[in-house]
Structure 1
């Protein structure tokens, strides 16, 4: 008999814990619940949780659901709970600004530099504005010189640096590159620089800008923040962001920006 009709009632198992569900799965597959599901036997396995767990379990068993299938479902629910717990543990708020009692506040620059130190092979930095002193990128620039396998890519907007709206894209992009090298980057080996060309479109309806503020480290961590890469935003402004280490989500984010590069949605600044 199909177990689909019992899924909704069995979802109460998601209010339990992975440990209880794993124990219950073993009992259903090869222990005291393998042949019979009674309240007393279930209580011996789950203890105080019997009042919540026994009714849906007994209903499914009485309707013909094999205990092996129930064990599979318990294991599946346990995996879901473990995954959710892992995601909670791998996500943290990055709040910058005035102190508030009971809330941890740290300047975004400190978090960014710690991420740069973690990087093993790849760093992607995206920002609408980048205007920082050499200190911010200093350690990353030194590593970029000493480790030729380390790849650093920056995706930025250059329209805000135009002298006027008629200035050609190439001039504005080159000015950004020169200013970045002179004021922000101490290394000899310059990172790969890209910009969103849509801001230079002659048609207002097609104009757009690179407005995301993101740091992606390998496929290990990513910071998505409201803070531009300027001294004020990184050290003084009230800013909010999320640092996460869920590899699946980090990979999705990295794949998106690498896709923009591959499809030439953002162009090289050379």
Structure 2
């Protein structure tokens, strides 16, 4: 879509964003039934001059950081929609925008994230994606939105702006984390995302497998997280090292979601306090449990044990989040860094949350 006046362009962008948001809601619903719809979201991009919106991620990041620090959106040009295109809730850069340095993404979330009528573009429903609008040139090049609105001066740059070739299919590969890439950028991404898999054993050692305490690995995974930490456990008991690591993660702004079993769900196989009680001292931690149906209640258990940091590092093992499992038992696990496995594990958990299979609980 091409408009010659920036004001008209901004108005059309807000209107078209509502259409693209509706397309994305339909895609999600259909994708659950028909995988041919694909996992790539419908998105809309605003491709205008630097005086209107940022050209690069680092510039947008600085604007968001300044808005949060000053509690003012005065210089936050990265925010180009003032209301959610789906539900109409008000948006501000200081409260509703985030940046993901690992993926070099700018994320805008709708604040209406609670209750039965929560917005499908809230953090709870669209974690890692948010409202499907792109206002930073760098993201537009890498993600090639379904609909692009631009000023005529941007179109005049097409013969001279090499990055614009990405919009017309001049790409080397599609990276699940960074979008469309080409040339040396794609090669650098492959080097960064090289998959590394290591086994982790706790307990007696042998020459064949060096022992590394499960607790140490869990703390390292938690310490690596900068934006998001997702974890699942069957049993949980207070363990100072893990509690301290989780608290420090919360202090640096990591969004932590913990899925636990409940005493009722364990059907008498767990005793003592609720596993969720092990995390009452961790500020801002979100607790979840499996919302079983009546037919599943008697025979099923939430037995998964894993931790995913920033969708890049995955620790999957036999250990519960208890001191016995972390320090004394014979436990085995696998630590995966890079590649598809961490991202897919995180996306699966988030989708279970969105579908209501997992429900929020209070300790």
* TM-score calculated relative to the size of structure 1: 0.56
* Structure 1 residue 202 displacement after superposition: 4.0
After TM superposition, the structure 1 = structure 2 runs for residues 188-207 of structure 1, keeping only pairs within 5 Å, are 189-198=283-292, 201-203=293-295, 207=299
After superposition, the Cα gap between the structure-2 partners of 1:107 and 1:175, relative to the gap in structure 1 and judged at 3 Å, is closer
Match of 1:240 in 2: 332
Residue 214 of structure 2 is aligned to residue 108 of structure 1: yes
* Structure 1 residue 134 displacement after superposition: 2.9
* Structure 1 residue 162 displacement after superposition: 7.4
Match of 1:27 in 2: none
State how far apart, in whole Å, the 2-side matches of 1:164 and 1:130 are: 15
After TM superposition, the structure 1 = structure 2 runs for residues 85-164 of structure 1, keeping only pairs within 5 Å, are 86-87=194-195, 90-144=196-250, 146-147=251-252, 149-159=253-263
Match of 1:32 in 2: none
* Contact 1:192 1:268 survives alignment (8 Å): yes
Q: Deviations over 1:109-136 (max 9, x none)?
A: 1000011111110001101111132332
* Structure 1: segments with no counterpart, 5+ residues: 1-78, 166-171
Q: Deviations over 1:82-104 (max 9, x none)?
A: 99x943xx000011111112421
After superposition, the Cα gap between the structure-2 partners of 1:164 and 1:246, relative to the gap in structure 1 and judged at 3 Å, is closer
Match of 1:67 in 2: none
State how far apart, in whole Å, the 2-side matches of 1:206 and 1:175 are: 18
Match of 2:356 in 1: 264
After superposition, the Cα gap between the structure-2 partners of 1:250 and 1:130, relative to the gap in structure 1 and judged at 3 Å, is same
* Structure 2: segments with no counterpart, 5+ residues: 1-186
State how far apart, in whole Å, the 2-side matches of 1:176 and 1:114 are: 22
- Which secondary structure does the structure 1 equivalent of 2:241 belong to? helix
* Contact 1:161 1:176 survives alignment (8 Å): no
State how far apart, in whole Å, the 2-side matches of 1:181 and 1:256 are: 23
Q: Which structure has the greater CA radius of gyration?
A: 1
After TM superposition, the structure 1 = structure 2 runs for residues 1-270 of structure 1, keeping only pairs within 5 Å, are 86-87=194-195, 90-144=196-250, 146-147=251-252, 149-159=253-263, 175-177=274-276, 179-182=277-280, 185=281, 187=282, 189-198=283-292, 201-203=293-295, 207-270=299-362
* Contact 2:263 2:274 survives alignment (8 Å): no
* Structure 1 residue 205 displacement after superposition: 7.7
Greater helix proportion: 1
RMSD: 3.0
- Which secondary structure does the structure 1 equivalent of 2:356 belong to? coil
| Paired residue total | 171
* Contact 2:222 2:246 survives alignment (8 Å): yes
State how far apart, in whole Å, the 2-side matches of 1:105 and 1:159 are: 32
State how far apart, in whole Å, the 1-side matches of 2:352 and 2:266 are: 23
After superposition, the Cα gap between the structure-2 partners of 1:211 and 1:176, relative to the gap in structure 1 and judged at 3 Å, is closer
- Which secondary structure does the structure 1 equivalent of 2:348 belong to? helix
